[in-house]
Amino acid sequence: MAVTDEAPATTSWRVGAFTVTEVQEIPIAVGLLDGLIAQATPDVVLATDWMRPHYATETGQTVWDIHAFVIDDGANVVLVDPGCGNGKSLPLQPSWSDLDTPFLQRLEDAGYQREDVDLILLTHLHLDHIGWCTTKDADGRWVPTFPNARLVIVLEEYEHHLEQRDAPDDHTHDIVFEGSDPSLSRQLKLVWAETIQPMIDAGRVDFVSRNAEVLPGVSYQSTAGHTLGHHSIRIESEGESAFITGDFIHHPMQIAHPDWSSRNDWNVEESARSRRAFFEAAAGTDLLVLGTHFAGRSAGYIVPDGDGYRLVADKPA
């Protein structure tokens, strides 16, 4: 599927000595993820006034996209959650299969060549967070996209992914999209063959433990629930901090309602507990929260709001 529309202007944030830059891959078609957060019906979304215009339509449908983040301290370039990738086989989500997007050009427009990337960090191993780790070469083989980059994976997440990949063939995904093949193990085998195994074969994968620091000021932070080993990314520098969510928070409606989990979370109760604890700690602080699937204004600060929280543009006083 060719996607060549011009991307929105690059957005960057300063976090101490770091620059964090958002690089767009694709918008998610409105309606495609309806029901993923079961409680987020249009009337409830419309009643949450701060969802519009960035995170919902005027009719109350949630709005999402897929983008990556680049973390740059001047000495290291770190790419976080590099999207679906081009030409991948994604029967679980057919509309994201065989993409042909200018993601690499957008990365270059943001100031980064393929050779500049030193590390790739993955919050988890789902298909829309790992795809650009590999691309096809002239012979049609999947090879590393970024020739100088090491891929860093939390070992707990890797081992859980292996268990799911090797589950019986009748193991199905909880969400079945129109026209999709619901076999989870088949999809994971394809992800493995096209993305993970080529990185292993190239000797480019490093495994780390839970909550590992991968660079001074850049750490994994366990946010289990969406997957067993899901980790978000925490950035600390010169008294400032930021937090890249991954799918720990799928959509800002989960900020308003922390107990609302996504239907394809591995453990919905654990996911809700992780969010609630995070919001309680972050509310009213200067922690910049960057949402991996947040459309429109993809970053902000958590503040209390009734029984839940909201995301605001300005740092709390």
Write out pLDDT tens, residues 120-139.
999 999 999 999 999 999 99
Q: What is the pLDDT of residue 3?
A: 39
Average pLDDT estimate for 237-263: 97
10 Å Cβ neighbour count for 267? 16
Q: Residue-wise over 244-262: b if at least 16 C-beta within 10 A, else e?
A: bbbbbbbbbbbbbbbebbb
Residue 148 structure tokens: 């100088």
pLDDT, tens digit, 9 for 90 and up, residues 48-100? 999 999 999 999 999 999 999 999 999 999 999 999 999 999 998 999 999 99
Are 316 and 288 spatial neighbours (Cβ–Cβ below 8 Å)? no
Q: Are 152 and 121 in contact (CB under 8 A)?
A: yes
Across the chain, mean pLDDT equals 93
Provide the token pair at 293.
């699937």
What is the distance between the alpha carbons of residues 172 and 180, in angstroms, rounded to a whole number? 11
Cα distances from 219 to residues 76, 151, 171, 225, 288, in angstroms, run: 14, 14, 33, 19, 15
What CATH number belongs to 11-312?
A: 3.60.15.10
* Cα 34 from Cα 30, distance rounded (Å): 8
Rounded to two decimals, the pTM is 0.95
- pLDDT tens per residue across span 254-300: 999 999 999 989 999 999 999 999 999 999 999 999 999 999 999 99
Question: Which candidate, 147, 270, 158, 244, places its Cα nearest to that of 208?
Answer: 158
Instruction: Indicate the pLDDT class of residue 4, thresholds 50, 70 and 90.
Output: very low
pLDDT band per the 50, 70, 90 thresholds, residue 170: low
Indicate the helix (H) or strand (E) that contains 106.
helix 103-109
Q: State the amino acid at position 98 in one-letter form.
A: D
Question: In degrees rounded to 5, what are phi and psi of residue 62?
Answer: -70, 150
- Kindly provide the residue ranges of all beta strands, DSSP E only, lying in 11-164, ordered along the sequence: 11-15, 18-28, 64-72, 77-80, 119-121, 134-136, 142-144, 150-154
CA 126-121-226 angle, 5° bins: 35
In this structure, the number of other CB atoms found within 10 A of the CB of residue 146 comes to: 26
Q: Which residues of 154-189 are buried (b: 16+ CB within 10 A; e: fewer)?
A: bebbbebbeebbeeeeeeebeeebeebbbbbbbbbb
Q: Residue for token digits 């101490």?
A: 16
Q: What pLDDT score was predicted for residue 306?
A: 92
Q: What's the CA gap between 139 and 169, in Å, rounded?
A: 30
Q: Is the distance from CB of 52 to CB of 45 less than 8 angstroms?
A: no
Are the CB atoms for 41 and 84 separated by under 8 Å?
no
- Closest CA relative to residue 256, chosen from 44, 63, 58: 44
